[in-house]
Amino acid sequence: MDKSNFVIVGAVSKPHGLKGEICVKSYTDSPFLFQDLTRIYLRLPGRFPKRYTVENVRFNRERPLLTLREIKGRDQAKELARAEVLIRRKDFPEPEKDEVMIADLVGLEVFRANEQWLGIIQDVQVHSGQEIWAISGPNGEEILFPAVDQFVIDIDVQTGRVVVDPPPGLVELYLIK
């Protein structure tokens, strides 16, 4: 299975109930993405993804609870705790015109508005609804960049290029030796 064909959309946080439901921590903008899925893939650390059939999706405090055909009981569900939840790219709905998938940001080159090269996006994290890019800077230093509309000028996945206009002093904090 080609890794680029999959997108990580969450992680199994714990079993729910006695019948084998799993509670998923969603990494997507909307946890309701799970409602339209018929299959997911779960990947435990150090293993290949394994396909599961989604039989039912319901929500508890906006967290998806999934019933998977292959999981029978709490003990089997418990073994999946901390597994990554993946979806095949082709199973995603088409993105909106100006929408970019988080997985597509990793590896893009970042430039300031004045064309100065800033680095390469190594990771994207979402904390309390705020998207943070971990950029590997010119000397390998990690620059944590808040990806908000006022700082991000352009994202072009086709050319592999992002243009940003960081607030004064933000980048310099990370470049000080």
Which tokens hold the place of 119? Answer: 């680095």
Q: What's the mean pLDDT in 39-57?
A: 95
32 — phi, psi (to 5°)? -75, -5
Q: Is 71 left (phi over 0), alpha (psi -120 to 50) or beta?
A: beta
- In this prediction, residue 143 carries a pLDDT of 94
Which tokens hold the place of 71? Answer: 């999981």
Which tokens hold the place of 154? Answer: 């352009």
Task: State the distance between the two ends of the chain, measured CA to CA, in whole angstroms.
Answer: 42
**Stated length of the chain:** 177
Expressed in percent and rounded to 5, the helix, strand and coil fractions of the chain are 15, 45, 40
Specify which of 1-5, 34-38, 102-106, 163-167 reaches the highest per-range mean pLDDT.
Answer: 163-167
* pLDDT of 167 strictly over 70: yes
Question: What is the pairing mode between strands 39-43 and 50-60?
Answer: antiparallel
From the CB of residue 69, how many other CB atoms can be counted at a distance below 10 Å? Answer: 12
- In this prediction, residue 1 carries a pLDDT of 42
156 in Cβ contact with 171 (< 8 Å)? no
Quote the mean pLDDT of the chain.
89
pLDDT digits (tens, 9 = 90+) for 59-109: 988 889 999 999 999 999 999 999 999 999 888 777 777 778 777 898 999
163 in Cβ contact with 153 (< 8 Å)? yes
- In this prediction, residue 4 carries a pLDDT of 66
- In this prediction, residue 57 carries a pLDDT of 95
What domains are defined for the chain?
3-91 (2.40.30.60), 102-175 (2.30.30.240)
Among residues 129, 143, 134, the alpha carbon closest in space to that of 174 is found at 143
